[in-house]
Amino acid sequence: MNPLLSDWTTEFALPPFAEIEDRDFAPAVDSALSEARAAIVEIADNPEAATFANTIEALELADEKLSQVLGVFYNLAGADANPEREALMREFSPKLAAYGSEITMNAALFSRIEALWDTRDDLDLTEEQARVLYLTRRGFVRAGAALEGADRDRLSAIKERLAVLGTEFTQNLLADERDWSMPLSEADLADLPGFVQDAARAAAVEKGAGGAVVTLSRSIIVPFLQFSPNRALRKQAYEAWGARGANGGKTDNRAIATEILALRAERAGLLGYDSFADFKLETEMARAPDAVRDLLMQVWTPAKARAEEDGAALEALLVADGQAAPLEPWDWRHYSEKRRKALHDLDEAELKPYLQLDRMIEAVFAVSGRLFGLEFRALDVPLYHADARAWEVTRKGRHLAVFIGDYFARGSKRSGAWCSAMRSQKKLGGEIRPIVVNVCNFAKPSDGQPALLSYDDARTLFHEFGHALHQMLSDVTYESISGTSVARDFVELPSQLFEHWLEVPEVLAEFATHAETGAAMPTALLDRLLAAQTYDMGFQTVEYVASALVDLAFHDGAAPADPMQKQAEVLEALGMPRAIGMRHATPHFAHVFAGDGYSSGYYSYMWSEVMDTDAYQAFLEGGGPFDPTLARSLEDNILSAGGSVEPDVLYTRFRGRMPGVEALLKGRGLAA
């Protein structure tokens, strides 16, 4: 029996990782697809009149086995890729896109959904059921169910091609990140803090090389750019980082990006929209491109002014260091680190020993315990990689979830950090509790040494755990609206809101303890850390907003014939500071080109930040960061609700109103 298709009898019905082999995935997907197709045919051809149960609920349950198989596969393909899994991704992408089109283009099935929609007021549906019916019908219409003839066929072909291109984009980027490294001499190493030396040596071991290397993992290249005094090496590393996906040859993503944008524009046109941005944003809180642009420009103007002030100060440091102006992008982080030390007496090398990975994990568990009553018990179970760890999550003795943390960078893992669910919460067909995964790319320490985080790393840990809470506390009936199945510009609210608890002094006082001495972070250091929270915020905001505005420009109007030229035009019109690069340039902008998730939607982090800053202010105005009444309201109205209600309604239920941009500007230190 294929272990992917069996009923898992492991503890908490975890995937039997020890039994699963790569050769099991293809037959499992084929079998699960056949089963799902048969279920769809049965629903569509049912001679009985359509009911919510025999149509909508049946659809919810039709591909359970397929979800089980793919939940395992795509987690492994992202966190621990190998040539076999990469080949399977290329094989599965068009198959799954075709399956999706078969469902949404099934005229008999859509007819049943339309019949329910037309009689919805007579169906006596619960609020949640009415929402699922609305979203199901909307999804079918937006997928082309109302199209006919050649337009239907063309849309299906576009979706299949986009699935293939997204996979190619991702794999090209992973290949560029995996294949590049820059060796460091002992003299080069001697200029770096101990934690950077350790990370560079560990990276060399991971690559099977001797000595030490810089890789394109953010957890290594960013501290190298901060601390290396060798300007030539910084330039070499930065340019390699910026060139991911644009190195020519078979891993070059520029032609792929061009084709993706053209296909998206054609898709939107077939569906009757003026642009892909209009199509995509229709279902988001923002609703329209102009609303997104307005928000981003309200932030861009003060952020650019702050960045230009900071850039002038950094260039003065560069010149005082005997280097030739102008300040370049590979110089910013280095001189910003020096300036931070001068202004705030804050040194990353002094700070990192207090930010141990294990202690920060304890901190996120403790905070979620105080806020939501959660408890965590370490599990000794087989997982997909030796670096992964698992915990059972309970509340008052009741099992809520299994949480898996996979924290260290490796060549087989795509860059960035993310949260996913191998299994999502639902009640239809029996209570199912989720398996939630946080994946990060922190530098792995040498054997026997504790893993040390930067403050940004620690913030990432809290951020991804906020997503995990959204999954673990989900309490809905239908999987299609479970957990993080919400509008893209709402999904970042729980994650970004949870970051604020890292800044709570009592949390740092308890869990920021020195790796060697065990001593708590000194009060003076803690005060300096918290005082520097908005330091360099002009740079951080400019690099992000520039990427968001380029993304919007790509999709708001006709598709650009040359995305790289379009990117340059947008940045020139903005007056992009010379010494700051986009956070994600087009050839490695995986958020936008690896799939449709954040396409025309990279702005959503900032849209959510408007809410998260305002939501945390509610705690500060109330009983403090651990106000139990507000914590209960946050869970009831946002974390447990999934996509069961429109997001603006959910937020208003929590806060009493919608926020303005003022709280965000104040939180970033950019207010006038």
CA distance 253 to 258: 9
CA distance 310 to 315: 9
Mean pLDDT of 5-13: 95
pLDDT tens-digit profile of 483-514? Answer: 999 999 999 999 999 999 999 999 999 999 99
User: Dihedral of CA 186/189/193/195: which sign?
Assistant: negative
CATH of the domain at 281: 1.10.1370.10
Domain check: are 290 and 432 in the same one? Answer: no
Final residue of a domain: which of 222, 244, 266?
A: 244
Domain check: are 424 and 571 in the same one? Answer: no
User: Is 636 contained in some domain?
Assistant: no
pLDDT tens-digit profile of 569-590? Answer: 999 999 999 999 999 999 999 9
Question: Is the per-residue pLDDT at 176 higher than 90?
Answer: yes
Final residue of a domain: which of 482, 507, 531?
A: 531
Domain check: are 432 and 335 in the same one? Answer: no
Question: Is the per-residue pLDDT at 672 higher than 90?
Answer: no
Other C-beta atoms within 10 Å of 63: how many? 20
Final residue of a domain: which of 197, 222, 244?
A: 244
| pLDDT for position 605 | 97
User: Is 573 contained in some domain?
Assistant: yes
Mean pLDDT of 128-136: 98
* Residue 58 region by backbone torsions, left for phi larger than 0, else alpha for psi between -120 and 50, else beta: alpha
Domain check: are 501 and 452 in the same one? Answer: yes
Cα atoms in the Cβ-side hemisphere of radius 13 Å centred on 582:
23
Domain check: are 284 and 362 in the same one? Answer: no
- What is the DSSP pairing of strand 398-408 with strand 435-442? parallel
User: Which distant-in-sequence residues (6+ apart) come within 8 Å of 8 by Cβ?
Assistant: 14, 15, 16
| pLDDT for position 34 | 98
Domain check: are 372 and 515 in the same one? Answer: yes
Tokens representing 294?
């307005």
User: Which distant-in-sequence residues (6+ apart) come within 8 Å of 368 by Cβ?
Assistant: 374, 465, 469
**160, 168, 284, 464: which is the annotated catalytic residue?**
464
Where does residue 331 rank: exposed (0-12), middle (13-18), buried (19+ CB within 10 A)? buried
Domain check: are 21 and 117 in the same one? Answer: yes
Mean pLDDT of 66-73: 98
* Residue 438 region by backbone torsions, left for phi larger than 0, else alpha for psi between -120 and 50, else beta: beta
Domain check: are 333 and 359 in the same one? Answer: no
Domain that holds residue 261: 250-346+536-602
CATH of the domain at 466: 1.10.1370.40
Percent of the chain scored above 70 by pLDDT?
A: 100
Tokens representing 630?
């507000």
User: Is 112 contained in some domain?
Assistant: yes
Confidence at 446, pLDDT banded by 50, 70, 90: confident
User: Is 407 contained in some domain?
Assistant: yes
Supply the DSSP symbol for 53. I
Task: Indicate if 392 belongs to the active site.
Answer: no
Where does residue 74 rank: exposed (0-12), middle (13-18), buried (19+ CB within 10 A)? middle
Domain check: are 596 and 500 in the same one? Answer: no
Average pLDDT, the chain: 97
| pLDDT for position 447 | 86
Question: Is the per-residue pLDDT at 337 higher than 90?
Answer: yes
Mean pLDDT of 139-164: 97
Question: Is the per-residue pLDDT at 390 higher than 90?
Answer: yes
pLDDT tens-digit profile of 224-251? Answer: 999 999 999 999 999 999 999 999 999 9
pLDDT tens-digit profile of 608-663? Answer: 999 999 999 999 999 999 999 999 999 999 999 999 999 999 999 999 999 999 98
Percent of the chain scored above 90 by pLDDT?
A: 98
| pLDDT for position 161 | 97
Number of domains in the chain: 4
User: Is 651 contained in some domain?
Assistant: no
Q: In sequence order, what are the beta bridge partners of 377?
A: 392
CA distance 114 to 633: 36
Question: Which amino acid is present at 384?
Answer: Y
Mean pLDDT of 583-598: 96
| pLDDT for position 406 | 98
* Residue 600 region by backbone torsions, left for phi larger than 0, else alpha for psi between -120 and 50, else beta: left
Tell me which residue of 555, 535, 656, 563 sits closest to 598, measured CA to CA. Answer: 555
Domain check: are 219 and 271 in the same one? Answer: no
Mean pLDDT of 588-610: 97
